[in-house]
Structure 1
Amino acid sequence: MQTNPSRSIFEQFILPSWVQDRALSANLRISNYVVNAVAVRPELERVFRVTHSDLFSLRSDQTHSNKVFCTPFLAFAPALSSVADWRSFIEGGIPTITMERLQASLPADLSIVERLALEHTNRSYITALYDMLNMSVLAAPLIGISNELAAYLRSVPQHEMDVAISERLVPLFHWRFADEMFWLETHAGRLTRELIAHFLMESSPMRTDKLPHSEPWGKFRLENFVRDALFEAFLYFGCRAKSVSSLFNTSLEVARDAYRRIHGRSSPSGQPPSSLTWFIETPPRRVQSTFQMWLFRSAIAREVSTPESFVAAIDINRTFFADDCKVPPERSMHLARSMAMSEELAVWPCRKCGTPYLASNSSDKIELLHSFTCPCCNGTLTATRGGNRRRK
């Protein structure tokens, strides 16, 4: 991640509000362009992977459109999905199969206005990508790409990208949620934050079960000023003073004073969380806990330290779920710490959609790998839906 010395160390691992605003602006601007483009050119529905009626309906429903567009995540994924594809686009060498398909997908009789509109929207999309790539360690899941591709794009000067956009007209984005169930749930009025989280994980090339685990928590090798900043970050997000003082080897009084200074109230008391099955007792908890582990391990894969990865993950998780959050920060910390040392919870891919989820692997309850189905596929996220799931 490119750092800015004017920002504190704590803020380096939190997505700035202006970047979130850029994501919202890009989501609205691109969706508006796609709605208008496919209304005139229905053949472009195959290119953007969304129909005019579906996207227009979503944009007209403020409640559901807010859930999709008003998050830190881009609702449109890159149409070029590999480093080779992007290198072909930027350098103008031998086109890859994907590049050839995209070039052939555009109607030959596009007017000058249509070409300018696409180029302008491409630039808006790339601007949002670069903002995320340079300001967040979790850019890859936010955009819907791999860490490998994120590293390559981060290395490309933006002026080279601008030249490529001018010289080679191809659509650089398409609708992110390819699963038909996304639209069935949307039109039925059942779209929730948990369902959107599921579709984000399902469509991502980064799979939770394939991502590296964190090292054991504690005895972090951090410089003093980095440790102090992260110590305050944990308290800022609501982790209890007792847990944070133990984690960072700081006196309990110092932690309590810092918590009171940050929140204006005393840190909660009581026993720390101990149960791991708690995270999978209800479908919303399972989805939200899995979503957070997906983000956390995505940051770990960037070779970011354990506490920094946790801060980045909980920041996005808190912003995404907002008032619907079912997993408090203290329990989130317990989950991340425990999964580094315990095998009581495993991560199994759903046998229907393939999305990896937290599953019980304890002696009290074992969820078998080959028969495990996620809450979205077994219908438990929406009580009115059955367990049968039609797929493309």
Structure 2
Amino acid sequence: MLEKPGVGRFAIDSKSAERNVYEWAEMMVAMGGRSCVVAQLTKLSDAEVRGIYQRVLGRSSPSGQQPTDLNWYLRSPIRRLHSALLVVLYAQCKHMPPYAAFANAYYHYARTTAASVERQKWTRDPAFRTSEKDYVIPFSRGYFLVSMYSDETDADGKRLCELQMRRCKKCGGLYMSHITEASTLCPVCE
């Protein structure tokens, strides 16, 4: 049975994370991480990760094109709110190795947003769901978001990322928006 990050074999300090790359890979697979994304994060070979996938979930990793469109995160109000939450959680984990940072951030994102999943679908810890469709932002899309999101600007002051987080003027909540968006209200308050 998988344990929560920071507990037991999923200790979140840097030294433990380095030693436990296989356990972190197992955790990512259990949260729906596709083998190509887990291999990219952990630097394990594709064959090793496919073996982990088969052992943990008893099936092959789904195939398909990886995310390439940042506007996907803006297409529904709930995605906008969840995107901001995931980016904030990931920023809190930057001190960790990249694979452990994202796995830890995604674990806490998944647990925080578990109320939107029917409780009878939970097979164990609500962060480990039966299908990537049970997450508003699936693991692979979450990794694409945090790897592309940046508040940095170029020499001319232009943002390097077309997404930005904003704070709602009415409720104070964080949400994701496009840099050209004029609204100052979150999708819930609009």
* Same fold flag (TM > 0.5): yes
**How big is the shift at 1:265?**
0.8
Partner of 2:139 in structure 1?
Answer: 329
> Whole-Å Cα distance in 1 between the matches of residues 104 and 38 of structure 2?
16
The yes-or-no answer on 1:12 pairing with 2:11 is yes
Is 1:225 the counterpart of 2:35? The answer is no
Aligned residues: 159
Q: CA deviation at 1:221?
A: 9.7
Cα distance in 2 for residues equivalent to 1:227 and 1:221:
10
Distance 1:320 1:373, change over 3 A: same
Match of 1:358?
176
Q: Which residue of 2 aligns with 1:85?
A: none
Measure the CA separation in 2 of the matches of 1:312 and 1:244: 13
Aligned to 1:271, the other structure's residue is in SS state coil
Deviations 1:167-198 (A, max 9, x none): xxxxxxxxxxxxxxxxxxxxxxxxxxxxxxxx
CA distance in 1, matches of 2:169, 2:24: 38
1:313 partner SS: helix
Residue of structure 1 in register with 2:123 after alignment? none
Q: 1:306 to 1:226 in 2, by over 3 A?
A: same
Q: TM-score, normalization: structure 1?
A: 0.37
The CA RMSD measured in Å over matched residues stands at: 2.7
1:367 corresponds, among 159, 181, 187, to 181
Amino acid of the residue matched to residue 12 of structure 1?
A: A
Does residue 318 (structure 1) correspond to residue 136 (structure 2)? The answer is: no
Structure 2 SS opposite 1:243: helix
Deviations 1:79-111 (A, max 9, x none): xxxxxxxxxxxxxxxxxxxxxxxxxxxxxxxxx
Tell me the CA shift for residue 229 of structure 1.
2.9
Counterpart of 2:88 (choices 283, 286, 294) is 294
Larger radius of gyration: 1
Q: Distance in 1 between matches of 2:43 and 2:112?
A: 31
Q: Do the aligned partners of residues 339 and 350 (structure 1) sit closer, same or farther apart at CA in structure 2, a change above 3 Å counting? A: same
The Cα of 1:224 is off from its aligned counterpart by: 4.6
Could you tell me how far 1:284 is from its partner in structure 2? Answer: 1.2
The residue identity in structure 2 corresponding to 1:327 is I
Consecutive unaligned residues of structure 2, counting only runs of 5 or more, are 1-5, 118-133, 153-159
Structure ranking higher in helix proportion:
1
Spell out, residue by residue over 1:285-339, the C-alpha distance to the aligned partner (whole angstroms, 9 max, x if none): 1112222222222333xx3343323222222222233326311111111111111
Q: Secondary structure at the match of 1:272?
A: coil
In the aligned structure 2, how far is the partner of 1:372 from the partner of 1:223? 40
**Matching of residues 249-264 of structure 1 within 5 Å:** 249-264=43-58
**Matches of 1:374 and 1:242, distance apart in 2:** 34
> Quick one: which of 163, 172, 179 aligns to 1:345?
163
Q: Which residue of 2 aligns with 1:102?
A: none
- Identity across the alignment (%): 28
| Alpha-carbon distance in structure 2 between the residues aligned to 1:344 and 1:263 | 36
